[in-house]
Amino acid sequence: MASIQGIEVIRYSLSAFYSEHSKNLTKAQSLHESAVFGLKAIAEDTWHDQEARTICDKQAKFHASRYHLIRSILDENHEIDLPFVLPTTLSAEESMNCTLKNGDLAIGLEESLLAEYLVEKDENPDLAVPNQIKHLFDSTTLSPYALSLDSNLTSKQYKIAVDMDSTNYSYWPNAHPIDQPDQTCYRLRVNRWGKTQFENIAFYRATEFIIPCIDINITSVASTGDRKLSSMKSRSIEYTASNSSRAIVEHPNSLEKRTWGSQKFMYAGRSFVWITPEGKWDVQLPMLYEVENGMGDNTRKGGSKVVGNKLCWGGLKPGKDASATVTIVGGVDQLFEKLLFASQMTKMAIFLFGHDI
C-alpha cells in the first residue's frame, strides 16, 4: 500500500477509529464508508497478491461492520456513545497517563521511558537516569507491579477465534471481548507458506490492521517428526513494539524441552514468568505471575518467588473450531495489555498450526 491511493486509504482507516475514540460518530461513519470503498479498490488492483488482497478484504469488512453499527446508533438509538471503544494508539496513550493506586506510573509508560533512556545511554554513557524511572534501577525498593493494581477492578475476558486461509497457509487469530463478538480488538497475522514452522509473526490492533504494533520473532526448534510434539517444545520469543527500540524477550528455563514449563521476561525493571498449568501435559495457554527479581523457594512458579496474584491466564480449545479465552486482571494499561495478548495469541498459533512436522 505504498501508493498514493494506499496512503489515502490508511488515513481514512485510522481517522475513522480516532473519530470513534473522540465520539465524533458522524465523521467516523463517513470515514468508515470511504475506507471500505478504498480498500475494495485496492483489493481489486492487487488480485495477483493473495496476501494483500486478503488483508484488504478483511479490513474492508471490519470497516463495514463499524459503519453499520454507528449508523444504527445514529439513526435508531439517537445515542452518542459506542457500546465498546476499540483500542487505538490514542487510547493506549490515555491509559499510560493513568496512575496506579500507589501513585506509580502505568507500567507501560515506565517501560517506554526505560527503553528510551537505555537507547540514549548507548550513545551517551554519562547520561543521568531521569527522575521518573530512577526507582526501576533499585530492585530493593522497586514496588511490585502486581500489588499496585486495584483488586476491585473487574478483570477483562476475551475470546480468540481463528480465521484460516488454506490457499497460502495464513492464519488470523482475532481477539474480542467474550460477550461482544463483533468488537474485534487485536489480530495476529501468521503465515507458514513454504516453511515447516513459524519464525515471524505480526501483531496488530484491529483498528490499525495495516500497521503492526508488535513484530514477533520466534526461535526455531528441531523437528520431532510430529507436529503436536514439535509445538510443545519450549523456545525463546522476542517482541518488538513499534513504539520501542528495545525488544522484550521471553526465555524458557530450558530450550526445546517438553512441555513449555516457564518462560521469564523483564518489563519495566520487573521480572515476570509465564507458567504452564500443572498437570496440563497437553498444549495449554500459560498463566502470568510477577516474581521477585531474586530467586526464591517456590519452585512451582518457575523457581521464583511469586508476588501477588496471577495477572493473565487463558484456556485453549483445540480442534476443528479452535478457539481460546484470555483473561487479564483489571487496571492493566493498554501497552502492557497488548504485549500479554501478543504472547498468548502467539503461543496459541504455535500450538494449533505452528508446525508442519
Per residue in 229-249, pLDDT (tens digit) is 888 888 999 999 988 878 999
pLDDT at 301 over 80: no
Q: What is this structure's pTM?
A: 0.90
For 218-277, the DSSP string reads: E------SSHHHHHTS---EEEEETT-SS-EEEEESSTT-SS--EEEEEETTEEEEEEPP
CA dist., res. 207 & res. 63, Å (int): 9
Max avg pLDDT among 83-87, 106-110, 229-233: 106-110
Give CA–CA dist 321/340, Å, rounded.
23
Asked if residue 118 lies in contact with residue 246, where contact means CB atoms within 8 angstroms, the answer is yes
Specify the 3-state DSSP secondary structure of 79: coil
Q: Can you read off the three cell numbers belonging to residue 70?
A: 454507528
> In this predicted model, what pLDDT tens digit does every residue of 3-14 receive, in sequence order?
666 778 888 899
Distance CA 180, CA 84 (A): 9
What CATH number matches the domain at 4-77, 3.20.20, 1.10.287, 1.20.58, 3.40.50? 1.20.58
- Cα separation of 351 and 130, whole Å? 41
As a whole number, mean pLDDT of residues 55-65 equals 90
pLDDT of 294 strictly over 70: no
Residue 280 has pLDDT above 60, yes or no: no
Q: How far apart, in Å, do the first and last CA atoms of the chain sit?
A: 34
